Amino acid sequence: MSLFIVAGSPVSHSLSPAMHNAAFKALGMDDHHYGAVQVGIGDVDSVVSMLRSGRIAGANVTYPLKTVMASRVDALEGVAREIESVNTLVPHAGTVSGLSTDGDGCVRALESRGVSLEDASILLIGAGGAARGGPDARAVGNDRVGGTRMKELVVISGKGGTGKTSVIASFAALSRQAVLVDCDVDAAD
């Protein structure tokens, strides 16, 4: 059996196991299982060790572990090197690489809501690792629109979200189009 996990704290509310297990089933990959594992900051080395040994075949990382996990893996790939944050861990031959797909996910969320990135001004509000993906989102967005540059991407990062609504309202007043894409996950949801 190949075990894949999403690691974080809290993580019991995650929809990742249901999505991944449904995909495994649809693809006939009955020997694969995806689970949510509550992992505190003090336990990240254990997760990396299990990946290196092959006990875990791969992992996704969520709050609050993205930056801590980036400091524990053997190699950072792509933009993860620059932003020092990971959301995907890939084991290979006794080593573990960390990647970040947060920027791409941000761009896809905007595009799915009909937001054109061409000459766009975008405000990204977040905390921790996801907000670090902002510069990556700009790079991905610029690649997607054939080299046409986003006008600006502003990243506001901080825990707690105080003032988030007023910052969004101020930014929206400066723009002709405002789309709120809230990727915060509340354990109560």
**Catalytic residue numbers, as ranges:** 66
Report helix, strand or coil for 142.
Answer: helix
Token look-up 């290979």 returns: 92
Measured CA to CA, the distance from residue 118 to residue 179 in angstroms comes to 15
Contact 171, 154 (CB under 8 A): yes
Measured CA to CA, the distance from residue 109 to residue 166 in angstroms comes to 22
Contacts of 117 (CB under 8 A, 6+ apart): 107, 110, 111, 141, 142, 144, 145, 148, 150
Question: Pairing between strand 88-92 and 58-61?
Answer: antiparallel
